[in-house]
Structure 1
Amino acid sequence: MDMSPRKSRRPQMSEMNVVPYIDVMLVLLVIFMITAPMLTQGVNVELPSTEAEPLPVDQNNEPVIVSVDSNGGYYLEVGEDRSDPKPMNQIVEEVSTILAERSDANVYVRGDQHVRYGVVIRLMSALQVAGASEVGLITDPPRED
């Protein structure tokens, strides 16, 4: 007879422990809930109101938007990319580069209603020098007061 003590073997667990994964997912959920409002940013521009039909949105062709805030600062917005204020010559160079790559890109100007008229006109002229054959203006619909 074999007198050696038998080792008791436990059956192996075939179930996955998902508790650590749930903890990680909850932490990620909290992080995304906190950071999501910070990701939506843009230039604070008070657009003039006018009655005009909205333009059709082309999902394949992201527009190039140049904003002018009430202080006369220029901002370049391409797709989801928002920028810090830039001098006009840098805006012209970047728009020129974009239009060289995508000649069919639409170029729009978002001008604050409190900025001087000449600032927006100089910007539109500079954008035409950069290669934008047509420059559109963005407005808000009229308010129902």
Structure 2
Amino acid sequence: MSKPPVAPFDKKKIVAENRRARYDYFVEDRFEAGISLQGTEVKALRAGEGSIAESYATVEDEEVVLINSHIPEYSHGSWMNHEPRRKRRLLLKKREIGRLMGAINRQGLTLVPLSIYFNGKGKAKVELALARGKKVHDKRETIKERDWKREQQRLLRDRG
């Protein structure tokens, strides 16, 4: 019996998206995690600023940490502004963290953030993916498939 499809998360406002991740990795499983932010970071995210293009997540001391995500300093902040590329703690349950640690250690998977968004309650969330890296020939296959689907749409549109 196959697994049922994962229900989409409640994304009201997407702030940052890692579109390259779907090209570089096979996404195996997805998780929704809270993110521990300072006040000016939340304000910068609400203004639509932030990038997770080169970021990744690791498990350090029973905690999941988002590394190399960029949230620029808030323009109206004072001397209490945050550091743009600091490590940010991700909020997950212990059982989920244990599952992630097992997958990373045993299966050689990678934790990749797919998007940062605000949910319906106004909380900042991160969509994490357990992913397996693609080889060069896999990437070529993805490009061929994408081009063929685009060509199919073009043909259907012209004939219909």
Q: Same fold (TM over 0.5)?
A: no
Structure of higher RCO (CA pairs closer than 8 Å, 6+ residues apart): 2
- TM (norm. structure 1) is 0.30
